[in-house]
Chain A
């Protein structure tokens, strides 16, 4: 009994000490932000007005040209005074965010507080709402969400407008004219294939229906809730006689795929691709490419951009209207939209939104260009088209494709 009491006391002491030690530094409260005006440096090139062209023009301009736009030093100071940036839903392997964040930290000396790296877009918006009165480290300053969430969050009054210095080089249909949200990168839906298990790599959507892929094809999410999965269905529509205004053929395609027994009802991730349980995974090309890097040859794998039905998905950045560190948030945006930030994303195989501009000025290193797959002909839906397709797909998935619920044994 004495031993036990002693042990409990020691444990209690340990707990109290740890709490005391870990609570030495209370979160710094955001000082009154000296609003640094967004400096709009005139763009030195004609802004691209359509979605980034994917053909690379010959690089004649010298690579030593000064980057478009410059960051106001007053902004940097104000941000450093705030000291921290709180991000959410930025996994390190997604678009090379790991390196992006580390570079930002070392370049400006700020801390970055990374919340829930695996949150979905809905979670990010909910986090802003829940933290409206909170100036603590749980409140996200900036969000990176699916395209449809930009306008909807703006409508709910959750965003703060800001135009980065390179604003004009962002294509018009990828940004809100008032600066509430702006596209950051895009990718194209592709097939990640474990070639050890399935050496016969499908080249297009219709190939997936072949019997040799029986029990091998999987989506990367639940089509009733996941952006990636819904857009996969939408993409299949394009290859199956549909269009950006008609996603129904996509549902029909997956119904056929399921009926043929080729569709595995699992949410594929890289572990499952590696074990061979879902050797063909439908996912964004940047995810597929970084997966291959992480496999390091075991298993051997390939990425295929389907021959038809090339579907581009855009994500958007925004600053929370309730951000505890607004200047740090603005500096973060400046960094992301600078050449450096955009190229870091490219390193993660994402197509940065300013790609056309970067290509024109020839600032993209050759080896980086060589790694990116050819995504010419990719189409990008508008928000209205996305919303319409989303409603169609989420409501009809169960009925059309038919979730196979086995009865109790």
Chain B
């Protein structure tokens, strides 16, 4: 965590246990190039020279990480689109965002910053 209020490390150890909370804003890193794939997405990491293919659930979360939406807003959007399976969505989004930070594809601002 830096003075600028961002998670900057790629590894889980650098993530606060609470992140993301309701007001956290996940922000795609500039090195992550998105390739749309009809329902899923490929992401190329231009720094680590790694290529990822997200499954449709993770892709739906990634698509909503536009640098302005908070964790709560992302969850609400997905719950609105998938009311039948809304129960587990909050946990899925929380774990997926943490995983995307670990992979170096997202950084996360602190709440209120």
A associates with B: no
Q: Which residues of A contact B (CB under 8 A)?
A: none
B residues near A, CB below 8 A? none
